[in-house]
């Protein structure tokens, strides 16, 4: 994994912008701590920061290639999981390779197939190829949206990068937000509308989108969409297909020239990955795998069962460690440090995020990075296979809203009167825009159509928010995290799977449980869904209350132009009165206060200017 950026401008001589480009490069150093590279021409410049994972010697970037009197340059961030197949195909067509890096394979796949290369790539990636001869730039983001690619288009120029902070260093992109930006962060946040970069003029390629920039014009194209098809496999075939696709995805993602480890929560998803990998390692005589779990200081002392979090992870982690015979490491996070890490997690995202759900991951990844460069994680199974309560509760299922943020009441209660009057309308329209994109079949029942809509909502919203969190908080420490459940083949198969099969045995992720029950302990295979662990320690509530109060008491802050103090104090004084989370399943009083502190930090750290007509 790496950080990439580029700048094209027909009027500026970019060879005279080396200083600025170097400052832009520094903002990506956490994503790529191993090497940095730059290629500059009069009209174009490309930046690469490398986290070396495969073929350290021959994978340096920007990478150049000459073919049939044309010269190409690529900057690439990601991992390709069908490298061997593509390399064989290209070799048969006359291409020669200097090394074993997937970067070279991606570049030569583009050279051979042009824009059609997108559909041939299985992996998580964002890349740019510049055809120097034709002065044409090609941008591409992976089908699922695991890796980021932001861009800013202006008259006669274009800037792109893995992170927004990089573009801000150019001086062309300004830290300006608009009324629409406020609707995003106050009514949708920590989610954001697909493609919306929050800062004025900043956009992001959608999952499965590519673009061509030539003659000062950008043309975008969706090369991958969720398509409705008949599911022709019977129950037995479906179980076998799920088992094959996920096992194949895990095994493909074990390729690395640097140490590799695994996240383990004791839940179904991470346990499947850990057991599958452990079996593969033993079969190939690679020894025992290393697993990591996260816990909070004194958490069991204060743990409270809930509908969303019925039991703690510790017992189940122990069972899985014994079953898979792993070398396990438990990382215990201090609650005061958890609160302090809220601010670097804003810097990681360039936006306020999921509060301690972000900061805990950031601290967790920092600890892992001391020993490992690559990890595998069980992200996204819930979105694809109906793991959340909103898939199973009919009263929630058919509500015309985002189920993870069904009510804007708590948000409205902390916003000043006469500010953002269209908040509820804005959110509902975003919901409708997504639902309208859903493809279905004439034979679909009402329930089947709704499940497709829920899939789309989860795929383009909730899942993207979690993937953004995973990418930014891990790469902030230079840790690459791979997500086997995001294999596009598995996503396509899940989209068209009948609900009766997906919810096998009337259980969340039932079909996945059934497909892997023979390799897991029964209590793991059929354990009730439990979300990412959060802290229950009152020390954290005290810490974020103090941070929120400090933010509210700042004179002349942008926060106080927007936030109603009494609404926030009501949350502090009556934390148990919040009937539904701010976002998802876990963001209640402590996380709302943390979000407010993050919002204030973001305004100040990024020198945000508010522009409202």
The catalytic residues are 2
What DSSP string runs through 394-453? HHHHTSSS-GGG---HHHHHTBPTTSSTTHHHHHHHHHHHHHHT----TT--HHHHHHHH
Strands 374-376 and 327-333: unpaired
In this structure, what are the phi and psi dihedrals at residue 68, rounded to the nearest 5 degrees?
50, 50
Cross-strand bridge partners of residue 202: 152
User: How many Cα atoms occupy the beta-carbon half-sphere of 164 within 13 Å?
Assistant: 26
Cross-strand bridge partners of residue 218: 213
Closest CA to 51 of 477, 547, 378: 477
In this structure, what are the phi and psi dihedrals at residue 415, rounded to the nearest 5 degrees?
-105, 135
Cα 504 to Cα 496: distance, rounded to the nearest angstrom: 15
Cα 391 to Cα 72: distance, rounded to the nearest angstrom: 47
Q: 81 in helix, strand or coil?
A: coil
CB under 8 Å, gap of 24 or more: what pairs does 238-242 form?
238/497, 238/501, 238/511, 239/511, 239/514, 239/515, 240/515, 241/493, 242/490, 242/493, 242/511, 242/512, 242/515
Tell me the Cα Rg of the chain.
24
């Amino acid at each position: 994994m790496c950080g990439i950026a580029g700048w094209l401008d027909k009027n500026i001589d970019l060879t005279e912008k080396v200083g600025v480009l170097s400052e832009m490069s520094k903002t990506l150093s956490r994503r790529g701590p191993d090497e940095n590279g730059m290629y500059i021409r009069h009209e174009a410049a490309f930046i690469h920061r490398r986290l070396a994972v495969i073929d350290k010697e021959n994978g340096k970037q920007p990478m150049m290639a000459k073919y049939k009197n044309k010269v190409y340059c690529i900057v690439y961030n990601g991992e390709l999981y069908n490298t061997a197949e593509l390399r064989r195909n290209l070799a048969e067509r006359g291409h020669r390779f200097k090394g074993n890096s997937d970067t070279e394979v991606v570049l030569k796949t583009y050279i051979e197939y042009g824009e059609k290369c997108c559909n041939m790539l299985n992996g998580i990636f964002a890349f740019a190829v510049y055809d120097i001869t034709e002065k044409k730039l090609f941008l591409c983001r992976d089908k699922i949206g695991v890796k980021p690619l932001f861009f800013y288009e202006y008259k006669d120029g274009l800037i792109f990068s893995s992170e927004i902070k990089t573009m801000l260093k150019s001086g062309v992109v300004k830290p300006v937000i608009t009324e629409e930006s406020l609707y995003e962060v106050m009514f949708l946040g920590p989610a954001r509308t697909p493609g919306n970069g929050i800062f004025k003029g900043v956009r992001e390629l959608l999952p499965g989108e590519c673009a061509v920039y030539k003659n000062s014009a950008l043309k975008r194209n969706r090369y991958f969409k969720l398509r409705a098809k008949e599911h022709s496999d019977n129950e037995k075939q479906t179980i076998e297909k799920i088992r094959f696709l996920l096992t194949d995805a895990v095994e493909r993602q074990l390729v690395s020239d640097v140490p590799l480890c695994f996240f383990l929560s004791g839940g179904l998803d991470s346990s499947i990955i850990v057991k599958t990998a452990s079996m593969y390692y033993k079969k190939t005589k690679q020894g025992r795998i290393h697993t990591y779990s996260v816990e909070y200081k004194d958490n069991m002392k204060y743990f409270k069962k809930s509908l969303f979090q019925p039991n703690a992870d510790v017992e189940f982690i122990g069972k899985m460690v014994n079953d898979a015979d792993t070398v396990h490491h438990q990382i215990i996070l201090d609650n005061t440090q958890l609160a302090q890490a809220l601010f670097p997690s804003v810097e990681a995202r360039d936006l306020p995020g999921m509060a301690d759900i972000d900061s805990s991951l950031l601290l967790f990844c920092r600890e892992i990075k001391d020993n490992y460069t690559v990890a595998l994680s069980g992200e996204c199974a819930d979105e694809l296979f109906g793991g959340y309560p909103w898939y199973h509760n009919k009263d929630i299922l058919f509500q015309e809203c985002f189920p993870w943020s069904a009510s804007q009441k708590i948000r409205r209660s902390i916003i000043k009167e006469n500010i953002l009057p269209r908040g509820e309308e804005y959110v509902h329209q975003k919901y409708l825009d997504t639902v309208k994109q859903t493809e279905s079949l004439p034979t679909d029942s009402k329930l089947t159509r709704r499940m497709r809509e829920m899939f789309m909502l989860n795929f383009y919203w909730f899942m993207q928010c979690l993937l953004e969190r995973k990418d930014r908080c891990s790469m902030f420490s230079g840790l690459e995290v791979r997500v086997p459940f995001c294999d596009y083949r598995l996503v396509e198969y899940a989209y068209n799977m009948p609900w009766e099969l997906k919810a096998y045995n009337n259980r969340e992720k039932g079909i996945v449980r059934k497909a892997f029950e023979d390799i897991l302990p029964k209590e793991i295979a059929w354990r009730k869904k439990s979300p990412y662990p959060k802290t229950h320690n009152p020390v954290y509530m005290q810490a974020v209350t103090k941070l929120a109060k400090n933010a509210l008491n700042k004179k002349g802050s942008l926060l106080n132009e927007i936030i109603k103090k009494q609404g926030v104090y009501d949350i502090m004084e009556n934390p148990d009165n919040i009937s539904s989370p701010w976002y998802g399943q876990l963001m209640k009083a402590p996380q709302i206060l943390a979000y407010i502190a993050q919002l204030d930090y973001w305004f100040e750290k990024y020198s945000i200017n508010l522009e409202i007509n």
